[in-house]
Amino acid sequence: MPHELSNPLALIAELTHRCPLHCVYCSNPLELQARNLEISTEDWSRVFQEAAQLGVLQADFTGGEPLARTDIIDLVRAARAAGLYINLITSGLPLDETRLSALIAAGLDHIQLSFQGAQEGISNEISGTKSHGQKLRVLEWIKQHRVALTLNFVIHRRNIDQLEEMVALAESSSATRIEFANVQYYGWAFANRENLLPIREQLDRSMAIIKREQERLEGRIRVEYVVPDYYAKYPKPCMGGWGRKLMLITPTGDALPCHAAQVIPDLSFENVKERSLREIWERSAAFQKFRGEDWMQEPCKTCDRREQDFGGCRCQALLLAGDAAATDPVCSLAPLRPKVDAILAAVNLAPVSVVAPPPNEPLTRPSWLYRPNAG
Amino acid sequence: MTIELTSRPLLAAGCRLGENNQQRILQMPERALRLNGPSLEIVTRCDGKHTVRQIVSELQQIYSKAQPRKVEEDILGYLALLQKERALDFEQ
């Protein structure tokens, strides 16, 4: 079927893989890119201009920790000059009051401050760093400014029972948005999956809490919830469809259709130092690969939902089915759904610890695989 | 939540007007709305100075061929949508 090309709406700018945290579910690839390979301020500035011309409305500054870039103020200024709206997705660690003021003066629109939990113990365990106290300080500094704030909580078995405390933390801040995003199982999270997947009872409880809080906070704080798709009936419309809405640029300038695309074999990626964003978006093999419907297999090919979820996630298909063109195995209609059910059954039957141990009992902790820092 | 005719809507922090390829846009955290005709007229008046009643009356003049009652309903509906998106603060 001929496919009408839309323009991307958001640019995910992965400015660096460097990060002071070592989160056990980090979405960065297992092979991190080093500082000396990162593209320059000038390269990024040109990318922002090209993105705006291509129709992109917003830039998500992320990483790694985007504040690890010493030129972050210049990058904010450049993106704003290009006409983009700027979301900064940060741990808040490399931040002080002066730098915060400078970022906002340069045109930063929205801060997404990531939290690993509502309590110090679990937060520090998950991030492999003493980080929680600094985040609480950052919340106080932000109150002095007129800037949008989202508190972002990555949710998993060890903190999903603390949603109410997380909401209370948000209510004590100037946040107008809370994002509860269940871990998605790629990269580091895939490696730590057995210790991260919530059990079904936890998930059911969490859904009831979210619904109640969404109603209570309407008009004051938007509460968004991303369910773990292993428990879903249908797959997520990953990235809003391959090559339809989003473009991700890695720290070294490679343009990807999604965060995890590098796991898919035989895909090669164009670099913004060699090609314009428009050329990459419209013509590169990687962006064409799973665009539209021609690549689909049954049951997606004839499914009524194919324009809603686009067959789900290509990287998840590769990770679970060994074939990036397969129906996402989390779909209840997928031939490989029994494999996902088996993973869930193992997690739900095993006697798992759902309560974070006190910090002085390291032996009861799961044996996490922590991500290292990029060189 | 009901919208009071005497309150003064103001775009919330992190919500602002933008433009791309001659199209006016309301930029919000992780979201954007295209603005055309009436929606642009409403949003440009969410400045913390106009009351809801004033916005209604001004748009009733601009769209004088439409039924005044319908214009008011549409405006209240649109403000409620923006409120749900958490794009507005209401000053008393």
Q: List the A58-62 sheet strands across, edge first.
A: A222-226, A177-182, A148-155, A110-115, A85-90, A58-62, A10-14, A246-249, A255-256
Within 13 Å of residue A168, how many CA atoms lie on the same side as its CB?
A: 7
pLDDT of res. B92: 84
Q: Using a CB cutoff of 8 Å and minimum separation of 24, what contacts does B72-80 make?
A: B74/B38, B75/B38, B75/B42, B76/B3, B76/B52, B78/B38, B78/B39, B78/B42, B79/B3, B79/B9, B79/B42, B79/B46, B79/B52, B80/B1, B80/B3
Q: Going residue by residue through chain A (375 aa), what tens digit of pLDDT does each one get?
A: 345 688 999 999 999 999 999 999 988 888 889 999 999 999 999 999 999 999 999 999 999 999 999 999 999 999 999 999 999 999 999 999 999 999 999 999 999 999 999 999 988 889 988 999 999 999 999 999 999 999 999 999 999 999 999 999 999 999 999 999 999 998 889 989 999 999 999 999 999 999 999 999 999 999 999 989 999 999 999 999 999 999 999 999 999 999 889 989 989 999 999 999 999 999 999 999 999 999 999 999 999 999 999 999 999 999 999 999 999 999 999 999 999 999 999 999 875 555 554 444 444 567 778 888 876
- What are the tokens at A123? 């937060």
Q: Could B29 and A109 be called an inter-chain contact, meaning their C-beta atoms sit closer than 8 Å? A: yes
What's the pTM? Answer: 0.93
Q: CB contact, 8 Å: B12 with chain A? A: yes
B29 CB neighbours in chain A (<8 A) are 87, 109-110, 112, 148, 150, 176-177
CA distance B60 to chain A (A): 26
Chain B closest-CA separation from residue A55 CA (Å): 7
Cβ distance of B14 and A222 shorter than 8 Å:
no
- At residue A361, the 3 state secondary structure works out as coil
Residue of A9, A61, A85 to mutate when probing chain B, most B C-beta within 10 A: A85
**Residue B18: closest C-alpha in chain A:** A83
Q: Can you tell me the distance from the alpha carbon of B24 to that of B20, in angstroms, rounded to the nearest whole number? A: 7
Query: Which residues, 6 or more positions from A321, have their beta carbon under 8 angstroms from its beta carbon?
Result: A327, A329, A334, A336, A339
**B69 Cα distance to chain centroid:** 17
Going residue by residue through chain B, which has 92 residues, state the pLDDT in tens, using 9 for 90 and above: 689 999 999 999 999 999 998 899 999 999 999 999 999 999 999 999 999 999 999 999 999 999 999 999 999 999 999 999 999 999 88
Tell me the Ramachandran region of residue A178: left when phi exceeds 0, alpha when psi lies from -120 to 50, beta otherwise.
beta
- At A353 the pLDDT is 56
Number of H helices, E strands in chain B: 3, 5
Q: Which residues of A touch B1 (CB under 8 A)?
A: 218-219
pLDDT of residue B70: 97
Q: Which residue has the tokens 């400015």?
A: A15
Q: Within the 79-138 window of chain A, which residues sit less than 8 Å (CB to CB) from chain B? A: 83, 85, 87, 109-110, 112
> Which residues on neighbouring strands pair with residue B25, listed in sequence order?
B18, B34
- The C-alpha atoms of residue B13 and residue A330 are separated, in whole angstroms, by 38
SS3 B66: coil
Q: Do B25 and A146 touch (CB under 8 A)?
A: no
Q: What is the pLDDT of residue B51?
A: 98
Element (H or E) spanning A150, and its range? strand A148-155
Q: Do A222 and B85 touch (CB under 8 A)?
A: yes
- Res A354: pLDDT: 53
Nearest CB partner across the interface for A148, out of B13, B21, B83: B13
Bridge partner list, A225:
A180
Tell me, what's the pLDDT at A352? 56
Q: Given CB atoms, is B44 within the 8 Å cutoff of chain A?
A: no
What is the per-residue pLDDT for A360?
A: 45
Asked whether the beta carbons of A142 and A174 are under 8 A apart, the reply is: yes
B48 touching chain A per CB within 8 A: no
> Is the Cβ of A215 closer than 8 Å to some Cβ of chain B?
no
Contact at CB, B29 and A177, closer than 8 angstroms: yes
Whether residue B32 lies within 8 A of chain A, CB to CB, comes out as yes
Q: Are A166 and A180 in contact (CB under 8 A)?
A: yes
Residues 6+ apart with CB under 8 A from B14: A109, A110, A147, A148, A149, A176, B28, B29
- Predicted confidence at residue A363, as pLDDT, reads 44
State the nearest Cα–Cα gap between B33 and chain A, in angstroms.
Answer: 10
Inter-residue contact A253 to A245 (CB < 8 Å):
no
A86: closest CA of chain B, how far (Å): 9
- How many Cα atoms sit within 13 Å of A166 on the Cβ side? 30
Distance CA A68, CA A357 (A): 31
Determine whether the interchain pair B20/A55 forms a contact, defined as Cβ–Cβ distance below 8 Å: yes
Identity of residue A46: R
